[in-house]
Structure 1
Amino acid sequence: MGDELLITDDFLPVPVPETLTATYLAPMRGLPRVATRTAVTALAGRLAEPVYGLARQMLASPLMSVDTRPIDEFPALPPDLLTAFGATREQLARLAQATHVVVVRAEYRPGWPPAHEWAARAVAAAVAETVDGDVVDVFGLQFLDPATALRSLPDEQGRIRLVDWVLVPYSSDADGLWFTTKGLRRFGLLELQTQGVPDHLTRAWGAVLTGVARRLLRTWTDGLTGEEVPAFVQLPVLTTVTGHDIAVAYGNPEQHGATAPVLLRLELDPATDPEADSFLSLHPPAGNPGPPGRYFASACATLFSGIQPDVRYARRGDAMSKAVATARAGLPDVRARFLAGALPAETQLVVKYGLPGDDGPEFVWAAVTSWETPERLAGTSASDATNDPEVRIGAPVVVEATDVVDWALLGPTGVLEGGWTQAVLDSGDRPHP
């Protein structure tokens, strides 16, 4: 963009780095058993051709270096951070026993494809595979077994799952949860952050942030398609995210559903410490009433189907009554799985229950936090109720099991199990009160 850069209230000029570097390690006991070129050649037919050819080309060019060093000469990797990002005891033990490390580095210009990342990960996985070892992604401080590293690389159409490249860590602060991304800088883009997220939205907001990352990354790379690397790319101050963005980021585009878009405001948050990272912060749109956490909870209710309030109730014998009966029959089993910690990973159990009102019951959803006795459960409201002013998004609630008419397991891309009444409503079979 250079001289054409416009500073307006509608766009944020985000600086573009001149080059990007990827670094991967393959720790091992002893020296490599197979030459790097031979190891990469063994991937023929197992990698999509664009990546396989790219890895071989970069390996033969000055853009990539592969060095074997005694592990003592490489800066020590922090085991506590490796553990926080998923390292197992076995992986840490293999790292402690390693005597040497193969260091794979690649450089490339910002833009798409991110050749430095794809090629370096492929080469490191090929080397690690020859010694039944691990790949360490230095940027993400993450262990990857070779098979997982290779699966994360693009298919024949160049598609990837963004969750294989961008992590979403979070921590607690005085105002709620603080979420950040870790991975967008691989592509030259600043990391995202959100503060003041309600505690019960741990999984949901992580998925939302991944969807926003997917949307912004597309805008970012579209701005880097010219022959020359621009000094800045302009990102919209007001960005949207949809269920489709989230589903594609998780590699499930067929599950996206037709959700309304959610509007979020971007703000550049430059670091005051030269050693620290700058962020793109996500906020509710300007003029939004109420605390940010309430807006974030409402955004999740929009993006994940099955948690909107509903004031309809069923007549005996229609599709809705069958849906309620099916849901109630499954309550003992889902409670047992919840208590045993046997629900699928990255899911949240929610229940729909009725609140009395002058015009009939109003059905709202709550995220389950505890369920000590079969008769009663505790949770946090996932909806604002019309009939009861104390039932607000994020507020604690106690629900009698006899009032429950439905339940669902929510994953990053929507309802994974349950939600029978919502399916009836979505099908158009909507009985009148």
Structure 2
Amino acid sequence: MLITDDFLPVPVPESLSATYLVPMTGLPKVSAKTAVAALTGRLAEPVHGLARQMLDSPLMSVDTRPISEFPELPPDLLTAFGATEEQLARLAAATHLVVVQAEYRPGWPPAHEWAARAVAAAVAESHDGDVVDVFGLQFLDPATALRSLPDEQGRIRLVDWVLVPYSSDTEGLWFTTKGLRRFGLLELQTQGVPDHLTRAWGAVMTGAARRLLRDWTDGLTGEEVPAFVQLPVLATVTGHDIAVAYGNPEQHGATAPVLLRLELDPATDPEADSFLSLRPPAGHPGPDGRYYAAACATLFSGIQPDVRYARSGDAMSQAVATARAALGDARARFVAGQLPAESQLVVKYGLPGDDGPEYVWAGVTSWEAPERIVGVSASDANTDESVRIGAPVVVEASDVVDWAVLDGTGVIQGGWTQAVLDSGEPPTP
């Protein structure tokens, strides 16, 4: 194996395993094979056939055991990853667990995960039960589990398989992925992320996971499983990577790529996990957090990191009028917590300049008084050196000329003036 400064050798495990649980009261009345057969026509045939084949092979086992034989599943962690009170109540009332386990070699497709989840979902559906993904410590209702499986073209949404939890530390937010080990790859982490990038950096991590997972599986296409796969030290992430990871490839914008440096962070404790850390490229000036803010601004389609000046004309006037007319409704939904899940409200406002107003974007963090918006800048301003990406700002609502709601794929609501700037065409009110 050739080792260079451009690539990072990442060890490959010899085999991978998946475990899913189906809690139930009493013994199952329908066999796993019968339950899987009932999915005929509802599950894409590549996965349906794979599940039937693995059920008949030593690569998969389906056992029913008393729940008392297992350590208690931690309800606090299950709740943190989305478990409802009803699901936890059914788990508490269960007397038995159907345990679905599968093993397979690293590579694509991840047959162990696809087949085990399909079988567990089939069993749970036949008994009106739940699926517990042991790796992710997640409850999945059968319909959700089945929707996460590949379609006829083998496509999946990576967000159905890889979570991005985060926590606070003294330097900011610590993001990790939880799910890449399903495919044999080390989990990713980023430390020192500014607090206001909670949603945005989660999307960037998901896009980076998609790009690196593709590089990883490309290195596992041979007949023999290699000891290492060489991943590029400089990983390139685009808006397309994020959109595909969220299952919306048609929504990606023509964003510039962002470079992230990959570092191996081996665990010193044998019981702890090693990580692949995402950092700014070597030689980047300034703190890491500022680079992360600039990367998010670049990758959010329609919210560009460069300064844009408004053009005169009917289309722009109409765009500003449309945005201002809907601003009160945007605030009401923001204050009431009624914006779409995992989204971010941003506003565009003017700064005075010698050549006229300069228009920049800011992410909204609070909006208690209708006339004043508190947020963080999403742009570097030319006319005001204090307005820098990630810097706190206070915006007068009367200065706002546009607003938008962003998720991991870009603008999902608003952005009327930006549409005029990007395309030159009149926006639709």
**In 1, are the aligned partners of 2:239 and 2:301 still within 8 Å (CA)?**
no
Aligned partner of 2:345 in structure 1 is 349
Superposition deviation, residue 318 in structure 1: 2.2
Range 369-378 or range 243-252, more displaced: 369-378
Aligned partner of 2:307 in structure 1 is 310
Range 20-29 or range 371-380, more displaced: 371-380
Superposition deviation, residue 394 in structure 1: 1.4
Give CA-to-partner distance per residue, 1:256-297, whole Å, 9 cap, x none: 111100011000000000011100000000000000000000
Match of 2:333 among 337, 351, 359: 337
Q: Which amino acid aligns with 1:310?
A: V
**In 2, are the aligned partners of 1:307 and 1:364 still within 8 Å (CA)?**
no
Superposition deviation, residue 305 in structure 1: 2.3
Give CA-to-partner distance per residue, 1:237-261, whole Å, 9 cap, x none: 0010000000000000000111100
Aligned partner of 2:130 in structure 1 is 134
State whether structure 2 residue 388 is matched by structure 1 residue 415: no
Superposition deviation, residue 320 in structure 1: 0.9
Aligned partner of 1:198 in structure 2 is 194
Q: Which amino acid aligns with 2:283?
A: G
CA–CA distance in structure 2, aligned partners of residues 415 and 36 of structure 1: 44
Aligned partner of 1:27 in structure 2 is 23
Q: Runs in 1 of length 4+ with deviation above 3 angstroms?
A: none
Q: Which amino acid aligns with 2:320?
A: V
TM-score, structure 1 length as denominator?
0.97
Aligned partner of 1:55 in structure 2 is 51
**In 2, are the aligned partners of 1:55 and 1:119 still within 8 Å (CA)?**
yes
| 3-state SS of paired residue (2:367) | strand
**In 1, are the aligned partners of 2:252 and 2:301 still within 8 Å (CA)?**
no
Superposition deviation, residue 314 in structure 1: 3.6
State whether structure 2 residue 147 is matched by structure 1 residue 151: yes
Count how many residue pairs are aligned between Structure 1 and Structure 2.
Answer: 425
Q: Which amino acid aligns with 2:274?
A: S
Aligned partner of 2:368 in structure 1 is 372
TM-score, structure 2 length as denominator?
0.98
**In 1, are the aligned partners of 2:254 and 2:301 still within 8 Å (CA)?**
no
Aligned partner of 1:83 in structure 2 is 79
Q: Which amino acid aligns with 1:196?
A: G
Structure 1: gaps spanning 5 or more residues: none
1:9-48 equivalences in 2 (<5 Å):
9-48=5-44
**In 1, are the aligned partners of 2:310 and 2:421 still within 8 Å (CA)?**
no
Give CA-to-partner distance per residue, 1:316-345, whole Å, 9 cap, x none: x42111111110000011111111111111
State whether structure 2 residue 313 is matched by structure 1 residue 281: no
**In 1, are the aligned partners of 2:234 and 2:260 still within 8 Å (CA)?**
yes
Alpha carbons of 1:429 and 1:154: their partners in 2 closer, same or farther (altered >3 Å)?
closer
Superposition deviation, residue 372 in structure 1: 1.3
State whether structure 2 residue 423 is matched by structure 1 residue 427: yes
Q: Which amino acid aligns with 1:396?
A: P
State whether structure 2 residue 96 is matched by structure 1 residue 100: yes
1:137-286 equivalences in 2 (<5 Å):
137-286=133-282
Give CA-to-partner distance per residue, 1:121-162, whole Å, 9 cap, x none: 000001111111100000000000000000000000000000
Q: Which amino acid aligns with 2:373?
A: L
**In 1, are the aligned partners of 2:302 and 2:418 still within 8 Å (CA)?**
yes
**In 2, are the aligned partners of 1:349 and 1:407 still within 8 Å (CA)?**
yes
Aligned partner of 1:124 in structure 2 is 120
Q: Which amino acid aligns with 2:197?
A: L
Superposition deviation, residue 310 in structure 1: 3.0
CA–CA distance in structure 2, aligned partners of residues 19 and 368 of structure 1: 46
| 3-state SS of paired residue (2:152) | coil
Aligned partner of 2:64 in structure 1 is 68
The alignment's C-alpha RMSD in Å is 1.0
Superposition deviation, residue 6 in structure 1: 1.2
Superposition deviation, residue 385 in structure 1: 1.1
CA–CA distance in structure 2, aligned partners of residues 166 and 125 of structure 1: 18
CA–CA distance in structure 1, aligned partners of residues 183 and 128 of structure 2: 29
**In 2, are the aligned partners of 1:311 and 1:360 still within 8 Å (CA)?**
no
Q: Percent identity?
A: 85
Q: Which amino acid aligns with 2:216?
A: W
Q: Which amino acid aligns with 2:227?
A: A
Give CA-to-partner distance per residue, 1:195-237, whole Å, 9 cap, x none: 0111111011000000000000001001001100000000000
CA–CA distance in structure 2, aligned partners of residues 96 and 429 of structure 1: 58
CA–CA distance in structure 2, aligned partners of residues 53 and 158 of structure 1: 13
CA–CA distance in structure 2, aligned partners of residues 416 and 53 of structure 1: 38
